[in-house]
């Protein structure tokens, strides 16, 4: 029913971080927010990223989103090396290939749900009519078919986060980066949001990385990687989350295992 919305299946590595280091000045020295981090996520894979506060999770998402240039290493998005691009080139890459979902949906108060999505399409130079049709289809897909004309104050927190997810999918991204999407929601609404992210990862063939503090939701993902002091553990099958949560000393990470 929704197949016309979907991306073609991508059999590739959509997100490839290779030996990425991110340093910040820290007094007389430097702080390694990311320390030789490598991670591959294929189209249709869903990886959760856990780790203590300050361990580097947001830094990893910011580098993967091409919002922050790493001090060293490669960031390759859908086959394109972000490192060689100008700022304008990185902005275009982000717009065309990356969907970003933050904790707070940051919707524009005066716009309806459809308009929240259409405006992103207009910024891409797309046609308004095609944008409106696609926006309505995506909003239906995330369960908001009855709320197309509602403004943010008329939506619940969970509904706002669904608009946020639909908006992130508007540009048919190869990579979906999700930072604590359930922080403002109760448990049931949170689980519904993570289930939805699982579904859209499969249906749209995106490579999804979700930072979460809540290990209850890890089983909805394919693999879990943990951060500690800027280092990333090798991703493990999400079923092994109990082990993962108590350890974090693995060598720099490798490819997400293909499961099942
Ligand atoms: N802009 C910055 N300038 C200097 N240091 C920074 C900057 N951003 C992050 N850091 C430092 O880098 C390290 C990693 O921070 P980061 O925000 O990535 O951790 P996190 O795992 O996302 O934490 P949290 O779970 O609390 O959000 C921390 O020591 C933090 O203080």
Element (H, E) at 129: helix 128-141
For a mutational test of ligand 1's pocket, the pick from 56, 61, 104, 232, i.e. the residue with the most ligand atoms closer than 8 A to its C-beta, is 56
DSSP 186: -
Cα 167 to ligand 1 centroid, rounded to whole Å: 26
Q: What is the pLDDT tens value at each position of the chain, 260 positions in all?
A: 333 344 444 458 999 999 999 999 999 999 999 999 999 999 999 999 999 999 999 999 999 999 999 999 999 999 999 998 999 999 999 999 999 998 888 899 999 999 999 998 777 776 666 788 999 999 999 999 999 999 999 999 999 999 999 999 999 999 999 999 888 788 999 999 999 999 999 999 999 999 998 889 999 999 999 999 999 999 898 876 554 444 444 434 445 554 43
**Assigned CATH class of 3-245:** alpha beta
For the record, the structure tokens of 223 come out as 């693999």
How far does residue 140's CA lie from ligand 1's centre (Å)? 36
Q: What ipTM describes this predicted complex?
A: 0.95
The pTM for the full model equals 0.87
- Helix (H/G/I), strand (E/B), else coil: 60: helix
What is the whole-number distance in angstroms between the Cα of residue 88 and the centre of ligand 1?
26
Q: For tokens 């350890």, what's the residue?
A: 247
Would the CB of 212 count as within 6 Å of ligand 1?
no
C-alpha to C-alpha distance for 192 and 103, rounded to whole angstroms: 15
The residue nearest atom 26 of ligand 1, judged by CA position, is 53
* Beta carbons of 85 and 69 less than 8 angstroms apart: no
For ligand 1, atom 30: residue with the closest CA: 54
Q: Let me know how many helices (H) and strands (E) the chain has, helices first.
A: 7, 11
Whole-angstrom distance between the N-terminal and C-terminal Cα of the chain?
26
Helix (H) or strand (E) holding 245: helix 241-245
């Amino acid at each position: 029913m929704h197949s016309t919305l979907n991306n073609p299946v991508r059999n590739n590595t959509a997100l490839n971080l290779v030996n990425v280091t991110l340093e910040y000045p820290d007094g007389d020295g430097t702080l390694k927010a990311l320390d030789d981090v490598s991670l591959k996520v294929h189209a249709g894979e869903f990886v959760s990223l856990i780790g203590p506060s300050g361990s580097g999770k947001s830094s990893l998402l910011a580098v993967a989103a091409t919002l922050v240039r790493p001090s060293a290493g490669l960031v390759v998005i859908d086959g394109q090396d972000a490192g060689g691009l100008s700022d304008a080139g990185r902005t275009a890459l982000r717009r065309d290939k990356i969907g970003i979902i933050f904790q707070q949906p940051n919707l524009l108060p005066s716009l309806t749900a459809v308009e929240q999505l259409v405006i992103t399409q207009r910024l891409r130079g797309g046609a308004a009519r095609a944008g409106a049709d696609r926006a309505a289809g995506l909003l239906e897909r995330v369960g908001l078919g009855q709320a197309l004309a509602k403004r943010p104050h008329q939506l619940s927190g969970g509904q706002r986060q669904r608009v946020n997810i639909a908006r992130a999918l508007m540009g048919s991204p190869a990579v979906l980066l999700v930072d604590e999407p359930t922080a403002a929601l109760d448990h049931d609404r949170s689980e519904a949001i993570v289930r939805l992210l699982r579904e859209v990862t499969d249906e749209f063939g995106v490579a999804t990385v979700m930072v979460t503090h809540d290990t209850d939701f890890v089983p909805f993902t394919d693999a879990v990687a943990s951060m500690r002091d800027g280092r990333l553990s090798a991703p493990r099958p999400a079923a092994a989350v109990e082990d993962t949560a108590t350890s974090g000393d693995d060598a720099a990470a490798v490819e997400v295992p293909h499961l099942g």
